[in-house]
Amino acid sequence: MKTRHFLTPLQVSMVACTWLAVAAPVRFELPKETAAFKPGPGADLAKNQCLICHSAEYVSTQPRLPRAFWEANVAKMRDKYGALVPKEQVPALVDYLVQTYGKQ
């Protein structure tokens, strides 16, 4: 009869801890940003508020849609994704997005 050797939970934990202790950290470098917000009134506001979470390219590649789209998008970023855009800055940010990337 063959004897089976199984690792105990303690042994598995010790092996895992040892492996984690000697594993080298994974390093990666993100590509350089190639897009920028178009200049205009509110561009600095967009840079300061939007670039915290995503690239300018994310905004610039959206279809040219009306104010309602940009209002809903800014609201979604604040309410669903936790963007820290102060409520009093929302109208100016939406104005910039509509004038620069929207459909009048």
Q: Per-residue pLDDT tens for 11-56?
A: 778 777 676 667 667 787 877 777 889 999 999 999 999 988 898 9
Tell me if the pTM is above 0.85: no
Instruction: Label residue 88 by pLDDT band (50, 70, 90).
Output: very high
| Domains detected in the chain | 43-101 (1.10.760.10)
Question: How distant, in Å, are the alpha carbons of 5, 14, 17, 41, 55 from that of 11?
Answer: 12, 5, 10, 62, 45
Whether pLDDT at 4 is above 70: no
Tokens read off for 61: 């590649």
